DNA sequence: GCCGTTTTCGGCCCGACTGTTTTCAGTCG
C-alpha cells in the first residue's frame, strides 16, 4: 500500500470522525497526518523496511504510526473498517460540496437517508432538504448550484498556465492611477505546481476604480460578485480569481494571511498564541493590552514575531517556522544565481532555433555558458543526431565559440537511455563531449524493478553527467514512471551525478518534495530549461520556484557555478569509479 | 490524536459570512 492510499484512508477517517462529531483536534490530527504522508518523498513501506520510526515524522505519533504500519503490513486497518461500517459509504463525497459540512452531512444521512450526491440532488428537487430544521429554500437552492458547478468544475490547473494569465491581469491593473500594491497571493505565490483559485490583493487610492477595471478586463469570462472592495470573477480555463482591495497599513498581514499555506498559518498562530500574541489578517493583537498592531509589509509582520522573513515557497510548516525564529533559514537560490543552462535544443534536432540564436538568447538571459544538448538519434525522436551529424555539430559549436563573445557554448547531447539501460551512442563519442545529459523517452511502462535497474545502469556510465527529467511525468497528462527514486538518489550521490530540475511547466521534474530529499542525500542538482526555442529561457523561473520549494541554496545547484567549476565537477564524476 | 524554551496533561488559529433565526450554528478560507 503506497503513501497516497494511506493518506487517502486517513483523510476519509477524518471526514467520518467529523461527521460523527468526534473531538475536532483528533480530526485535525488525522488530516495533518494525511497531508504529511501525501507529501513525503519516500514510501512509508520503504521507511519501515529500513527500520525507521514513523513517529519521527511531524504530526505522526504513537497511534497513527501504528495504524500506518498496520496498513503497510496488511493492507487493511481494523479501525477504519469499523468506522466505515458505522456510516453510509458515500457520505464522504457530500463533504466535497461547498456549503455542506459534517453536521449537515450527518443530518442529511440520518434524517433523509441520503448517502450520495445524486440522492442529495433528487431530495433537493423534491423539496425535502428545504423542509429540514434550520435549512431553507435559499440553502437548498445554493446547494443545487454548488452541485452543478462542482460537476463542471475544472481541476486545479498547472502553474505554467495560471501564472501568465494572472500576470496579464496584474499588468493591466497596475498602471491605474493610485495603485500602490497589487500581487497574487495563495498557492500561486508559493509556486505550487498546480493552483486552484487565485487570490489577488492590493492597495490603492481609489479601490473601487480598480475593482471596476478588474471585472471588465477582456480576460474575464464571468463575474460572480462585485462590491466596493472585493470582486470574484472566472477567467479563461475556468480559473476563479478574487481581487481584494485593503487599507495600506494592513497590507502586510493580509498578504501573509492569504499567502498561506493554511498549515503554516496554523502553526505560526499556535506558536505565538503561547506568547500572548493573537495573529489575524488584520495584524497582531497583544492579549495583555488588547491593542491591534498593523503591518504594511510582510517583513515587518514576521519581524514583530522575532522571526526572519520566510520566503513564500517554503511556507508549508515543514520546519521553516522554527528556523526563522532562530534566524537560521537557508538562503534560497535565486534567478540571479543562475549562470548557465545545461540542457537545451536547437534545430539540429527538435528545437526551432539555430545555435546562434539560442546562444544569443542565453546571453541576453545573463548566462555565461550554455550546453547544446540535442537529442541523440535513436528511438523515434524526430531529427535526433547520429554520430556523423553530432560530429558536424560539435565542429559548428567550436567555430561559433571563436566568433561570439560573452558566452561559452558547451558541446553536449541528450542521449537516450534504452530499455535495457544502455545508451544509444557509444562511449567513444560521449567521451568527446563537454556535457552528457541522459534521459528516458521510451518504454515508460516498465516495472519499477526493471526501470530502476535501467536508470542505475545509465548512471553507472562514467560519461553520463546529468539525469534529465528523472520521473518523466507530464503534469495532468502523464504519470511519472515507476522507479525507486531513493535508489536513484543514492546512486547519484555515490557517482557524483547531477539530477535535473526541469523547468518546463508541464514537467517540473524533479518536483519539490523529491528535490528536498535528493538534496538531503547530498545529490547535486541542475536547474535547466530544456529550451526548444529562445523564449523558453524565461521558463527558468519555474525551475527556480521548485528548487526553492525544495529548500535549495545556490550551493545545491550546479549551474550557479562558473563554467570551469561545472566542467571540473563532470570530470570528477567521470573518474570517480 | 499530537505535542512540549512555561506543560508528559491540558491545551490545540482566527475571523467573517450566510441563512436562519429572535441569538447563533455551521461553514469557509
CA distance A80 to A535: 51
Instruction: Return the closest nucleotide (C1') to the Cα of A186.
Output: B29
Instruction: Return the closest nucleotide (C1') to the Cα of A95.
Output: B27
Q: Which nucleotides of B are covered by protein (CB under 7 A)?
A: 1-3, 6-7, 11-16, 18-21, 25-29
Same domain (yes/no): A289, A347 = no
Instruction: Return the closest nucleotide (C1') to the Cα of A100.
Output: B27
Protein CA A134 to sugar C1' B22 (Å) = 14
| pLDDT tens per residue across span A477-500 | 899 999 999 999 999 999 999 999
Protein CA A555 to sugar C1' B3 (Å) = 34
| pLDDT tens per residue across span A42-83 | 999 999 999 999 999 999 999 999 999 999 999 999 999 999
- Last-in-domain residue among A290, A325, A360: A325
User: How sure is the predictor about A316, in pLDDT bands with cuts at 50, 70 and 90?
Assistant: very high
Same domain (yes/no): A241, A259 = no
Same domain (yes/no): A264, A228 = no
Under 8 Å between Cβ of A410 and A371: yes
Tell me whether residue A285 is in a domain.
yes
Protein CA A1 to sugar C1' B1 (Å) = 22
Average pLDDT of the residues of chain A: 92
Same domain (yes/no): A526, A382 = yes
Instruction: Return the closest nucleotide (C1') to the Cα of A107.
Output: B26
Same domain (yes/no): A279, A233 = no
CATH number assigned to the domain comprising residue A106: 1.10.150.110
Same domain (yes/no): A202, A107 = no
Same domain (yes/no): A136, A46 = yes
Q: What is the pLDDT of residue A110?
A: 87
Residue numbers of the domain that contains A308: 251-325
DSSP per-residue codes, A258-315: HH--HHHHHHHHHHHHTTTEEEETTEEEETTTTEEE--SSHHHHHHHTT-----GGG-
CATH number assigned to the domain comprising residue A180: 3.30.460.10
| pLDDT tens per residue across span A324-346 | 999 999 999 999 999 999 999 99
Under 8 Å between Cβ of A92 and A15: yes
Peptide bond into A248 cis (omega under 30): no
Protein CA A264 to sugar C1' B16 (Å) = 20
As a whole-number percent, the residues of chain A with pLDDT over 70 amount to: 98
User: How sure is the predictor about A232, in pLDDT bands with cuts at 50, 70 and 90?
Assistant: confident
Tell me whether residue A173 is in a domain.
yes
Same domain (yes/no): A426, A570 = yes
Bigger pLDDT: A84 vs A411: A411
Tell me whether residue A330 is in a domain.
no
CA distance A154 to A226: 22
Under 8 Å between Cβ of A466 and A499: yes
Q: What is the pLDDT of residue A576?
A: 46
Tell me whether residue A41 is in a domain.
yes
Q: What is the pLDDT of residue A577?
A: 42
How far the first Cα of chain A sits from its last, in Å, is 37
| pLDDT tens per residue across span A528-570 | 999 999 999 999 999 999 999 999 999 999 999 999 999 999 9
- Last-in-domain residue among A119, A152, A185: A152
User: How sure is the predictor about A227, in pLDDT bands with cuts at 50, 70 and 90?
Assistant: confident
CATH number assigned to the domain comprising residue A344: 3.20.20.140
Tell me whether residue A370 is in a domain.
yes
Average pLDDT score over residue span A242-264: 92
Number of folded domains that form chain A: 4
Protein CA A52 to sugar C1' B10 (Å) = 30
- Give the CA count within 13 Å in the CB-facing half-sphere of A369: 20
Tell me whether residue A292 is in a domain.
yes
Tell me whether residue A177 is in a domain.
yes
Q: What is the pLDDT of residue A378?
A: 65
Q: What is the pLDDT of residue A382?
A: 63
Same domain (yes/no): A469, A516 = yes
Same domain (yes/no): A320, A340 = no
Question: Grid coordinates in use for A206?
Answer: 481609489
Protein CA A102 to sugar C1' B22 (Å) = 26
Cβ–Cβ contacts within 10 Å for residue A525, how many?
25
Q: What is the pLDDT of residue A574?
A: 67
Same domain (yes/no): A270, A344 = no
Nearest residue for B18, CA–C1': A139
Q: Is the pLDDT of residue A151 over 50?
A: yes
Question: Grid coordinates in use for A53?
Answer: 520510526
Instruction: Return the closest nucleotide (C1') to the Cα of A227.
Output: B17
Peptide bond into A314 cis (omega under 30): no
| pLDDT tens per residue across span A114-148 | 989 999 999 999 999 998 888 889 999 989 988 88
- Last-in-domain residue among A202, A220, A246: A246
Tell me whether residue A26 is in a domain.
yes
Instruction: Return the closest nucleotide (C1') to the Cα of A267.
Output: B13
Same domain (yes/no): A78, A217 = no
Angle, alpha carbons A451-A456-A461 (nearest 5°): 130
Protein CA A287 to sugar C1' B10 (Å) = 20
User: How sure is the predictor about A380, in pLDDT bands with cuts at 50, 70 and 90?
Assistant: low
Amino acid at each position: 500500500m503506497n503513501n497516497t492510499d494511506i493518506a487517502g484512508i486517513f483523510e476519509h477517517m477524518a471526514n467520518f470522525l467529523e461527521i460523527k462529531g468526534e473531538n475536532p483536534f483528533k480530526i485535525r490530527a488525522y488530516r495533518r497526518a494525511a497531508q504529511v504522508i501525501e507529501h513525503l518523498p519516500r514510501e512509508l513501506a520503504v521507511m519501515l523496511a529500513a527500520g525507521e520510526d514513523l513517529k519521527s515524522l511531524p504530526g505522526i505519533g504513537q497511534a497513527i504510526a501504528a495504524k500506518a504500519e498496520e496498513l503497510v503490513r496488511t493492507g487493511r486497518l481494523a479501525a477504519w473498517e469499523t468506522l466505515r461500517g458505522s456510516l453510509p459509504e458515500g457520505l464522504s463525497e457530500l463533504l466535497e460540496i461547498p456549503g455542506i459540512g459534517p453536521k449537515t452531512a450527518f443530518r442529511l444521512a440520518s434524517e433523509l437517508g441520503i448517502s450520495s450526491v445524486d440522492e442529495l440532488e433528487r431530495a433537493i428537487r423534491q423539496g425535502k432538504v428545504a423542509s429540514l430544521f434550520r435549512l431553507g429554500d435559499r440553502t437548498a437552492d445554493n446547494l443545487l448550484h454548488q452541485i452543478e458547478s462542482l460537476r463542471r468544475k475544472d481541476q486545479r490547473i498547472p502553474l505554467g498556465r495560471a501564472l501568465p494569465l494572472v500576470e496579464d491581469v496584474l499588468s493591466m491593473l497596475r498602471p491605474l492611477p493610485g495603485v500602490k500594491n497589487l500581487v497574487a497571493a495563495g498557492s500561486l505565490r508559493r509556486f505550487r505546481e498546480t493552483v486552484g483559485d487565485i487570490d489577488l490583493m492590493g492597495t490603492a487610492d481609489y479601490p473601487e476604480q480598480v475593482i471596476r477595471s478588474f471585472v471588465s478586463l477582456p480576460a474575464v469570462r464571468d463575474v460572480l460578485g462585485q462590491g466596493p472592495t472585493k470582486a470574484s470573477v472566472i477567467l479563461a480555463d475556468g480559473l476563479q480569481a478574487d481581487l481584494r482591495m485593503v487599507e495600506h497599513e494592513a497590507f502586510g498581514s493580509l498578504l501573509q494571511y492569504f499567502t498561506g499555506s493554511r498549515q503554516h498559518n496554523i502553526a505560526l498562530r499556535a506558536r505565538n498564541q503561547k506568547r500572548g500574541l493573537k495573529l489575524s489578517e488584520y495584524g497582531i493583537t497583544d492579549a495583555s493590552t488588547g491593542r491591534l498592531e498593523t503591518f504594511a509589509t510582510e517583513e515587518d509582520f514576521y519581524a514583530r514575531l522575532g522571526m526572519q522573513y520566510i520566503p513564500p515557497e517554503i511556507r508549508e510548516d515543514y520546519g521553516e517556522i522554527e528556523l526563522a525564529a532562530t534566524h537560521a533559514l537557508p538562503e534560497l537560490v535565486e534567478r540571479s544565481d543562475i549562470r548557465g543552462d545545461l540542457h537545451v535544443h536547437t534545430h539540429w534536432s527538435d528545437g526551432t532555433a539555430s545555435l546562434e540564436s539560442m546562444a544569443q538568447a542565453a546571453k541576453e538571459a545573463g548566462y555565461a555558458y550554455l550546453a547544446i544538448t540535442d537529442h541523440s538519434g535513436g528511438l523515434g525522436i524526430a531529427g535526433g543526431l547520429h554520430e556523423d551529424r553530432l560530429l558536424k555539430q560539435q565542429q559548428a559549436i567550436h567555430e561559433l565559440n571563436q566568433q561570439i563573445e560573452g558566452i561559452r557554448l558547451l558541446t553536449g547531447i541528450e542521449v537516450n537511455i534504452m530499455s535495457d539501460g544502455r545508451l544509444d551512442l557509444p562511449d567513444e563519442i560521449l567521451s568527446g563531449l563537454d556535457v552528457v545529459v541522459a534521459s528516458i523517452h521510451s518504454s515508460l511502462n516498465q516495472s519499477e524493478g526493471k526501470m530502476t535497474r535501467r536508470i542505475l545502469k545509465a548512471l553507472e556510465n562514467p560519461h553520463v553527467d546529468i539525469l534529465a527529467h528523472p520521473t518523466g511525468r507530464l503534469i495532468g497528462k502523464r504519470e511519472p514512471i515507476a522507479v525507486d527514486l531513493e535508489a536513484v538518489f543514492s546512486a547519484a550521490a555515490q557517482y557524483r551525478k547531477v539530477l535535473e530540475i526541469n523547468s518546463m511547466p508541464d514537467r517540473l521534474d524533479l518536483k519539490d518534495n523529491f528535490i528536498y530529499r535528493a538534496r538531503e542525500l547530498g545529490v547535486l542538482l541542475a536547474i535547466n530549461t530544456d529550451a526548444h526555442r529562445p523564449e523558453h529561457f524565461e521558463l527558468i523561473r519555474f525551475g527556480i520556484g521548485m528548487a526553492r520549494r525544495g529548500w535549495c541554496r545556490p550551493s545545491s545547484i550546479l549551474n550557479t557555478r562558473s563554467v570551469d567549476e561545472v566542467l571540473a565537477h563532470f570530470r570528477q564524476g567521470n573518474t570517480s569509479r
